[in-house]
């Protein structure tokens, strides 16, 4: 069953046997895995469908195993959906791509502005991404206004990114707020390609 718990080996807490984050500890010992594959061989064809299947106020680590491919989606992980992991293939990472800009018109007829231009927006806590590419392909025209085009915005806290790449021109990675960790990540842009108020470690 899709929401059947994954079997996990006995885990040993760090810091001398103390659990530093009880919510995270419980989530990691009760995982569920969902497969996203565009050819229909997984549980879902799109990342948005997979996210929509997660119950609000989820307390389990939900691993979205995203198969290789180019996913042309605008993806949002709202605050009531913590503990989500995007897991890609290390040899052929999947790409999530979009081309919205701050000046683009939203569904309400108003400009999106920088905050809503993100291809992937994460408002939930405890997000993890492994072996993923995040992209905003909107070109940057020198001297023009409203060309901010975010590839990923992270606004939740206690998030981690491993072996991920972020591609854009202006305002590629919006490290908005919270505690974040980036390990072996590549970030490309021309103007303000890392910005925000996050308390983050990059190594």
Q: So which residues are the catalytic ones?
A: 192
Residue 118: which H helix or E strand, with range?
Answer: none
Token duo for residue 8? 């996990």
Residue 46: CB atoms within 10 Å: 15
9, 14, 131, 169, 202 from 24: Cα distances, Å: 16, 13, 21, 34, 22
Structural tokens at position 180? 């974040």
What are the Cα distances from residue 70, in Å, to 49, 58, 67, 88, 194?
16, 27, 10, 12, 23
Report the alpha-carbon distance of residue 126 to residue 189 in Å, rounded.
Answer: 26
């Amino acid at each position: 069953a899709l929401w059947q718990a994954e079997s996990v080996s006995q885990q040993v807490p760090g810091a001398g046997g103390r659990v530093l984050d009880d919510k995270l500890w419980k989530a990691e010992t009760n995982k569920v895995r969902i497969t996203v594959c565009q050819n229909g061989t997984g549980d879902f064809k799109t990342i948005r469908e997979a996210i929509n299947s997660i119950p609000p106020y989820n307390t389990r680590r939900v691993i979205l195993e995203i198969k290789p491919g180019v996913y042309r989606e605008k993806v949002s992980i709202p605050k009531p959906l913590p503990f989500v992991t995007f897991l890609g293939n290390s040899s052929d990472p999947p790409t999530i791509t979009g081309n919205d800009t701050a000046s683009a018109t939203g569904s309400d007829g108003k400009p999106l502005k920088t905050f809503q231009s993100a291809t992937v927006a994460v408002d939930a806590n405890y997000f993890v991404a492994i072996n993923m590419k995040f992209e905003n392909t909107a070109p940057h025209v020198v001297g023009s206004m409203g060309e901010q085009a975010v590839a990923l915005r992270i606004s939740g806290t206690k998030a981690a990114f491993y072996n991920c790449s972020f591609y854009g021109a202006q305002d590629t990675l919006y490290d908005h707020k919270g505690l974040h960790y980036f390990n072996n990540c590549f970030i490309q842009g021309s103007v303000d390609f890392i910005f925000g108020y996050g308390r983050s470690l990059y190594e």
